[in-house]
């Protein structure tokens, strides 16, 4: 009972409430994006998103109570299961929009690539939890992390899902850098990545190449590859300083904005709540990221420290790329806005990650 009281007393309500706040913004944005004329009725997407928020909240609370240190024993088994699910997608996955990313489990459709983000962080932290040797991790010691990244990355890119592949690579790079990578290894890795870029370009799908190039000049193909960026920029610009008001955005209402409940949900929000609302939303994300960094700095062990870094990196990179994509600063690669975009796998996975971070912060008072 004493332990239970201490868990409640030291519970990280700040991160918990910020997470729920972002999920609430997502629910309102999904409602707005799906509230189309002439029906003006509650869309099933909203009901499902609400159910997923409920499931995610319960899982977040459970993860917060669970001792995060026990996750080390499950790191490799969870990684193997996740790789197996990604492989199963190649065989029996559900195809939508030209991509094979989901497993139809009857009641729900599972997107294993969202679980892969968490599983990869967990297994990387399990490997990197020992203090690095003097001078940092060497080339030889980075072979295992490269292999651990390479397997799920190859399967995700095969779907094809370039956005998730980029996130997996960036989160891994963040972890090994924070974990103590040797400076020379870092420079060599950056050089190798630059040299490998032309090779990677060769294996991209034609539409992926068009999207990567079109952000430089969207007007060159306004009805094709540049359409997403142009319509997103129109929606954001139409919001002005204070926005058009909730449920009053026209880009989503008239179906000009593509992927308006997922990849471009930020554009829906920006049109209705304007620059002021967008700044508040980004401030809320900044609060979650700052809290994650604070938890990492104050964690009682290296395992907890790196876990917090990894999960915070997922949020940071997804927010940075998604908003950059929506505003035309970055090419369209298909990345959801964490905790806001429609989607059960993404939402539940992120809320579970936030629960683990709460556990890391809470349990520093218990040992």
pLDDT band at 188 (very low <50, low <70, confident <90, very high): confident
pLDDT for 11-68, tens place per residue? 899 999 999 999 999 999 999 888 764 555 677 889 999 999 999 999 999 999 999 9
Range scoring the smallest mean pLDDT among 126-130, 185-189, 258-262, 348-352: 185-189
Phi then psi dihedrals of residue 103, to 5 deg: -105, 120
pLDDT average, residue stretch 235-243: 90
For every residue of 41-102, DSSP letters joined together read S--HHHHHHHHHHHHHHHHHHHHHHS-GGGHHHHHHHHHHHHHHHHHHHHHHPEEETTEEEE
pLDDT of 2 over the 90 cut: no
Query: In this prediction, what percent of the chain has a pLDDT beyond 90?
Result: 53
Query: In this prediction, what percent of the chain has a pLDDT beyond 70?
Result: 89
**DSSP H stretches of helix in the chain:** 2-9, 13-33, 44-65, 71-92, 112-128, 143-158, 162-180, 183-202, 206-214, 227-238, 250-253, 265-298, 302-326, 344-363
Report the pLDDT value the prediction gives residue 215, as an integer from 0 to 100.
65
pLDDT for 62-73, tens place per residue? 999 999 999 999
Report the pLDDT value the prediction gives residue 219, as an integer from 0 to 100.
65
Report the pLDDT value the prediction gives residue 1, as an integer from 0 to 100.
41
For 103, the enclosing helix (H) or strand (E) is strand 99-104
Tokens of 224: 């094709």
Q: Which residue in 340, 359, 356, 342 sits closest to 25, CA to CA?
A: 340
Range scoring the smallest mean pLDDT among 37-41, 196-200, 247-251, 296-300: 37-41
Name the packing angle between helices 302-326 and 344-363 (round to 10°): 140
Distance, in Å, from the CA atom of 130 to the CA atom of 69, rounded to the nearest integer, reads: 14
pLDDT average, residue stretch 226-245: 86
Q: Is the dihedral of CA 359, 365, 366, 367 positive or negative?
A: positive
Report the pLDDT value the prediction gives residue 217, as an integer from 0 to 100.
67
pLDDT average, residue stretch 221-247: 82
pLDDT for 281-321, tens place per residue? 999 999 999 999 999 999 999 999 999 999 999 999 999 99
pLDDT for 73-121, tens place per residue? 999 999 999 999 999 998 887 777 667 888 887 777 889 999 999 999 9
User: By three-state DSSP, how is residue 121 classified?
Assistant: helix
**DSSP H stretches of helix in 93-161:** 112-128, 143-158
pLDDT band at 328 (very low <50, low <70, confident <90, very high): confident
Using the 8-state DSSP alphabet, how is residue 265 labeled? H
Report the pLDDT value the prediction gives residue 3, as an integer from 0 to 100.
53
Phi then psi dihedrals of residue 159, to 5 deg: -60, -45
Report the pLDDT value the prediction gives residue 206, as an integer from 0 to 100.
72
Cα torsion for 333, 336, 341, 344, to the nearest 10°?
120
Tokens of 343: 């989607």
Distance, in Å, from the CA atom of 367 to the CA atom of 364, rounded to the nearest integer, reads: 6
pLDDT of 363 over the 50 cut: yes
Mean pLDDT of the chain: 87
Q: 283 with 323: CB under 8 angstroms?
A: no
Tokens of 154: 């190859």
Question: CA angle, 238 as apex, 233 and 241 as ends, to 5°?
Answer: 110
Distance, in Å, from the CA atom of 332 to the CA atom of 183, rounded to the nearest integer, reads: 32
């Amino acid at each position: 009972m004493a332990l239970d009281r201490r868990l409640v007393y030291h519970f990280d309500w700040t991160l918990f409430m910020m997470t729920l706040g972002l999920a609430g913004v997502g629910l309102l944005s999904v409602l707005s994006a799906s509230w189309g004329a002439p029906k003006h009725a509650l869309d099933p997407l909203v009901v499902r998103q609400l159910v997923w928020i409920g499931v995610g909240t319960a899982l977040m609370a459970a993860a917060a109570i669970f001792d995060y240190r026990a996750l080390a024993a499950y790191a490799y088994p969870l990684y193997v299961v996740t790789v197996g699910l990604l492989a199963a997608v190649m065989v029996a996955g559900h195809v939508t929009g030209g991509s094979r990313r989901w497993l139809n489990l009857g009641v729900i459709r599972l997107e294993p690539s969202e679980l892969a983000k968490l599983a990869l962080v967990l297994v990387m932290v399990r490997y990197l939890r020992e203090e690095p040797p003097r001078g940092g991790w060497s080339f030889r010691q980075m072979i295992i992390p490269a292999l651990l990244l390479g397997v799920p990355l190859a399967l995700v890119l095969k779907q094809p899902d370039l956005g998730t592949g980029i996130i997996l690579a960036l989160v891994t790079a963040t972890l090994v850098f924070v974990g103590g990578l040797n400076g020379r290894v870092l420079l060599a890795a950056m050089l190798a990545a630059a040299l490998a870029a032309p090779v990677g370009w060769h294996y991209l799908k034609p539409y992926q190449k068009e999207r990567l190039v079109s952000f430089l000049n969207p007007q060159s193909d306004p009805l094709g590859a540049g359409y997403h960026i142009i319509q997103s920029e129109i929606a954001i610009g139409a919001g002005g300083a204070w926005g058009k008001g909730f449920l009053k955005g026209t880009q989503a209402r008239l179906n000009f904005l593509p992927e308006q409940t997922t990849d471009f949900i930020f554009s829906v929000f920006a049109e209705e709540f304007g620059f002021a609302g967008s700044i508040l939303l980004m401030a809320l994300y900044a609060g979650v990221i700052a809290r994650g960094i604070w938890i990492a700095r104050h964690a009682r062990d290296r395992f907890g420290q790196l876990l917090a870094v990894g999960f915070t990196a997922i949020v940071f990179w997804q927010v940075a790329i998604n908003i950059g994509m929506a505003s035309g600063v970055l090419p369209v690669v298909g990345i959801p806005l964490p905790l806001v975009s429609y989607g059960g796998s993404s939402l539940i996975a992120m809320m579970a990650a936030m629960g683990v971070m709460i556990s890391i912060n809470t349990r520093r008072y218990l040992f």
